[in-house]
Amino acid sequence: MSLLEPTRKMSKSDDNRNNVIGLLEDPKSVVKKIKRAVTDSDEPPVVRYDVKNKAGVSNLLDILSGVTGQSIPELEQEFSGKMYGHLKGAVAEAVAGMVGELQQRFEHYRNDEALLNKIMKEGAEKASSRARETLDKVYQAVGFVGRPQ
């Protein structure tokens, strides 16, 4: 969901770039955006999953759960009695770490043309094999005698 409008989907076509996290975005920018994310104004702050009444907090919990693999109840317990800043900091650190790892892998593949060509060739061979099987089934179903090899 959007960082600044948690009831809307996060979309790469959003006009407000602060609502979206790009996978190739600078990790410092990711941290900055997450720290600006909307929560709520409960006093004292309560970190609990409640999409209807606490959409911003729920959004951050969803993101953190998705990145770390921790369940929402585990995260609620971990952040029980803590300020929203603690939650935002944990989300920012986790997402920036994930984005950083993705960027390293992206650069690795991007800078190794031979590896990219090998991957594309293997993918094309797999696709061709599957397409051949599908076409054989289609030819048989339609009643064609045979497909030229």
- Give the tens place of pLDDT for each residue, 73-93: 999 999 999 999 999 999 999
Hey, how many other C-beta atoms are within 10 angstroms of the C-beta on 113? 9
**Claim to verify: residue 93 and residue 126 sit in the same structural domain:** no
Residue 51, domain extent: 1-111
**Claim to verify: residue 15 and residue 73 sit in the same structural domain:** yes
Using only the alpha carbons of the chain, give its radius of gyration.
23
**Claim to verify: residue 63 and residue 120 sit in the same structural domain:** no
User: What was the pLDDT predicted at 11?
Assistant: 75
User: What is the reported pTM?
Assistant: 0.75
**Claim to verify: residue 30 and residue 49 sit in the same structural domain:** yes
66 neighbors 12 (Cβ within 8 angstroms): no
**Claim to verify: residue 15 and residue 88 sit in the same structural domain:** yes
**Claim to verify: residue 47 and residue 92 sit in the same structural domain:** yes
Tokens encoding 57: 């907090």
Greater pLDDT, 13 or 86: 86
Query: What's the number of domains the chain is made of?
Result: 2
**Claim to verify: residue 35 and residue 98 sit in the same structural domain:** yes
With CA atoms as reference, report the closest residue to 38 among 65, 71, 16, 67.
16
**Claim to verify: residue 83 and residue 143 sit in the same structural domain:** no
Give the range among 13-17, 52-56, 68-72, 124-128 with minimum mean pLDDT: 13-17
User: What was the pLDDT predicted at 148?
Assistant: 64
With a cut of 90, say whether residue 35 has pLDDT above it: yes
User: What was the pLDDT predicted at 149?
Assistant: 63
**Claim to verify: residue 20 and residue 37 sit in the same structural domain:** yes
**Claim to verify: residue 41 and residue 74 sit in the same structural domain:** yes
**Claim to verify: residue 73 and residue 130 sit in the same structural domain:** no
